[in-house]
Amino acid sequence: MMNVVQPIAVPGKPPAATLGLIDVDIHPRPKSITEFRPFLSDRWWQHLQSWGMRPRHGFTAGQPPFPKAQPLASRRDAWPPNGGTPASDLDFLRFQLLDNYGVDVGVLNPLQPSGQGDRNSAFSAAMAHAVNEWQLEHWLRKEPRLRGSIVVPYEDPQASAAEIRKRAGDPNFCQVLMMSRTAEPCGNPRYWPIYEAAAEAGLPVAFHAFGYSGWAMTNGGWPSFYIEEVSEHATSCQNQVISLVVEGVFERFPALKVILIECGFAWLPSVAWRLDTHWKTLKSEVPHLTRLPSEQIRQHVWVSTQPMEEPERGAHLVDICEWIGWDRILFASDYPHWDFDDPRQALPGTIPAERRAGIYGGNAKALYGL
Partner 1 sequence: MFSGYRPIDCDLHPMVPGMKALTPYMDAFWADQVVERGITTLDSQSWPVGSPKTIRADWRGPNGRGAETVEQLRAQVLDRFGVETAILNPLYGVQLVLNQDMAVAFTRALNDWTRAEWLDRDDRLRASIVLPMQSVEAAVAEVERLAPDRRFVQVLALALGEDPLGKRQYWPIYEACVRHGLPLGIHAGSAYRHPQTSVGWTSWYLEEYAANQQGFQSCLASLLTEGALVKFPQLKVVLLESGVTWLPAFLWRLQKVWKGVRFEIPWVDRLPAEIIREQVRLTVQPFDAPAEAVPRVLDHLRSDRMLLWASDWPHWQFDGDAAVPPGIPDALLLKLLRENALATYDRIREGALA
Partner 2 sequence: MGATPRPCTAFEARQGEEGNLLPLVGRTAPNPLHPFSVSLRVAKLVVGPVSEIPPGGRKLVEAEGKRIVVFNLSGEFFALSDRCPHQGGSLCAGLVSGHVESKEPGVYHYARRGEMIRCPWHYWEFDIRTGKSWFDPKRVQVRQFPAHVESGAALVEGPYTAETFPVRVEDEYVVVEA
Q: Using CB under 8 A, list all residues that contact partner 1.
A: 69, 180-188, 213, 215-228, 230-232, 234-236, 238-240, 242-243, 246-247, 264, 266-267, 269-271, 273-279, 281-282, 284-286, 307, 309-313, 316, 319-320, 323, 338-339
CA distance 282 to 182: 26
Nearest approach, Cβ of residue 342 and partner 1 (Å)? 15
Of the pair 128, 234, the CB lying nearest partner 1 is at 234
Q: Is residue 299 involved in binding partner 2 (CB under 8 A)? A: no
CB closer to partner 2, 16 vs 131: 16
The residues in 317-356 that bind partner 2, with binding defined as CB under 8 A, are 317, 338-342, 344-350, 356
Least distance to partner 2, CB of residue 261, Å: 18
Interacting partner of 56 out of partner 2, partner 1, none (Cβ under 5 to 8 A depending on kind) = none
Shortest Cβ 338–partner 1 spacing (Å):
8
**Burial of residue 162, with CB atoms counted within 10 A of its CB: 0-12 exposed, 13-18 middle, 19 or more buried:** middle
Q: Show the DSSP H helices in the chain as ranges.
A: 42-51, 90-93, 100-101, 121-135, 157-167, 192-201, 226-246, 249-252, 268-282, 293-300, 314-324, 353-357, 363-368
CB-CB contact of 47 with 54 (8 Å): no
Dist CA 11 CA 99 (whole Å): 7
Choice between 13 and 75, CB closer to partner 1: 75
227 touches partner 2 by CB under 8 A: no
Residue 15 or 171: which CB sits closer to partner 2?
15
C-alpha torsion 139→27→189→222, nearest 10: -160
Q: In this structure, are residues 333 and 343 in contact, taking their beta carbons and an 8 Å threshold?
A: yes
Q: How far is the CB of 84 from partner 1 (least distance, A)?
A: 25
Position 321, amino acid = C
Residue 205 bridge partners (DSSP): 176, 258
> Residue 359 and residue 328: Cα distance in Å, rounded?
8
Binding site for partner 2 (CB under 8 A): 2-5, 8-10, 12, 14-16, 69-70, 75-77, 310-314, 317, 338-342, 344-350, 356
